[in-house]
């Protein structure tokens, strides 16, 4: 069953909040001072998003502009549900809606939960130049969106856009970007380890140490130690 009441979704979010989860989120996130954390688990948010995928884009916009963290997350997941069931011009309109509101995607969990499922599907059928635009942004979260969106490409066996972004952002000042780059390299390595290893060997001394550590987590211990010691 699909629901369309924004008021009901907001009420459900508050009813499903858990104090322990709220405390945990307060430790691992860095919310803005005017943010409110409810403490709703991500699997619960995903289930709600499926149930409320019939919300209008106006209501999704209200959620994205909310200062309640889980309301923004729920809005992004509803948007992802809409993207999943569309294509062509309709999907492009949803992606443009997302890209016009990236200032609302303002923490790592919001980026990681939305970039590959909202922007990612469009990358599979559209213009990749948006990655360069996001990677050049002064906003940390825009740059992380660019990196995480390529997970959809990686899962489709298309690795070059991610490798190009790794080189573009290798001198980024933010550790959250270094970690994201390493994570995506590790995902490439899960599918084509020789390619990932060859890339590391070519560019090892250009990459941040944390990127190398994240990228090599799934390698054999001796192989991983070789890269980590060298960096």
Q: With bands split at pLDDT 50, 70 and 90, how would you rate the model's confidence at 156?
A: very high
Percent of the chain at pLDDT > 70 equals: 100
Q: What is residue 33's predicted lDDT score, i.e. its pLDDT?
A: 80
* pLDDT tens column, 10-51: 999 999 999 999 999 999 998 778 899 999 999 999 999 999
Q: With bands split at pLDDT 50, 70 and 90, how would you rate the model's confidence at 211?
A: very high
By C-alpha distance, which of 89, 73, 154, 167 is closest to 122? 89
Contacts of 64 (CB under 8 A, 6+ apart): 72, 75, 76, 101, 104
The number of helices, as runs of H, and strands, as runs of E, in the chain is: 16, 0
122-131, 139-148, 156-165: least confidently modelled range: 122-131
30-39, 75-84, 159-168, 201-210: least confidently modelled range: 30-39
Q: With bands split at pLDDT 50, 70 and 90, how would you rate the model's confidence at 2?
A: confident
Q: Are 55 and 9 in contact (CB under 8 A)?
A: yes
Q: What is residue 1's predicted lDDT score, i.e. its pLDDT?
A: 65
Q: With bands split at pLDDT 50, 70 and 90, how would you rate the model's confidence at 204?
A: very high
By C-alpha distance, which of 93, 116, 121 is closest to 105? 116
So where are the chain's domains? Answer: 150-231
Residue 126 in this model has a pLDDT that exceeds 90: no
Per-residue pLDDT, averaged over 159-178, amounts to: 98
By C-alpha distance, which of 207, 208, 228 is closest to 217? 228
Average pLDDT across the chain, whole number: 96
Q: Is the pTM of this model over 0.85?
A: yes
In whole angstroms, what is the distance from residue 166 CA to residue 169 CA? 5
């Amino acid at each position: 069953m699909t629901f369309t009441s924004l008021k009901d979704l907001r009420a459900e979010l508050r009813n499903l909040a858990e104090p322990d989860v709220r405390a945990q989120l307060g430790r691992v996130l860095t919310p803005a001072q005017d943010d409110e954390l409810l403490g709703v688990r991500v699997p619960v948010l995903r289930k709600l998003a499926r149930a409320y995928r019939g919300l209008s884009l106006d209501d999704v916009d209200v959620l994205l502009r909310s200062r309640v963290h889980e309301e923004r997350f729920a809005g992004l997941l509803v948007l992802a549900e809409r993207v999943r069931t569309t294509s062509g011009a309709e999907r492009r309109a949803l992606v443009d809606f997302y890209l016009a509101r990236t200032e609302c995607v303002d923490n790592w969990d919001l980026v990681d939960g939305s970039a590959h499922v909202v922007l990612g599907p469009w990358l599979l059928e559209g213009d990749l130049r948006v990655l360069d635009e996001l990677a050049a942004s002064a906003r940390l979260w825009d740059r992380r969106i660019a990196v995480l969106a390529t997970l959809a490409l990686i899962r489709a066996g298309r690795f070059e856009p991610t490798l190009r972004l790794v080189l573009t952002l290798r001198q980024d000042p933010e550790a959250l970007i270094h970690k994201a780059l390493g994570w995506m390299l590790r995902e490439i390595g899960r599918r084509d380890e020789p390619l990932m290893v060859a890339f590391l060997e070519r560019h090892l001394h250009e990459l941040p140490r944390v990127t190398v550590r994240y990228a090599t987590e799934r390698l054999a211990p001796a192989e991983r130690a070789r890269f980590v010691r060298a960096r």
